[in-house]
Amino acid sequence: MAIIKIKKAPAKDLVLEAVVKEMIFVKKMSLGALGIYMQMIKVPEYDYLTFNQICGFNEVDPPTEIRKILDELLEHGFIIHPDKSNKIYAVNKPVLINCLTK
């Protein structure tokens, strides 16, 4: 008789899968937006970032493209400005949790 091993997916993989489904298949967002958002939710230190810090970890896209991507994420509510100066970008945690409950 063969033995079948079942590997359970870690919780973070389930979170990432739910976010990908919501962003790409439901909201029809760009892959650039998905990439920056994934980076922000995977690394706790990247939860609150300035524009220059985001440009620092994304060396592929020029700053003008990153600005468009951040505007797209803001428009769909995946990130927010937690301060009045609009200089900090933060993960919108209620939206992240909502992706998991769908």
Total-model pTM: 0.81
CATH code, domain with 47: 1.10.10.10
Is residue 1 in a domain? no
| pLDDT, one tens digit for every residue, the chain (102 residues) | 566 555 555 556 666 777 888 887 788 899 899 889 988 888 778 888 999 999 988 888 899 999 999 999 999 999 999 888 888 999 998 888 887 776
Number of domains the chain is built from: 1
| Residue-level pLDDT at 14 | 64
Contacts of 14 (CB under 8 A, 6+ apart): 100
Q: Residue 63's closest CA among 73, 51, 74, 80? A: 51
Is residue 3 in a domain? no
| Residue-level pLDDT at 39 | 87
Is residue 51 in a domain? yes
Is residue 4 in a domain? no
Is residue 5 in a domain? no
Q: Give the structural domain span for 17.
A: 11-101
Is residue 72 in a domain? yes
CA distances from 27 to 44, 71, 75 (A): 24, 14, 11
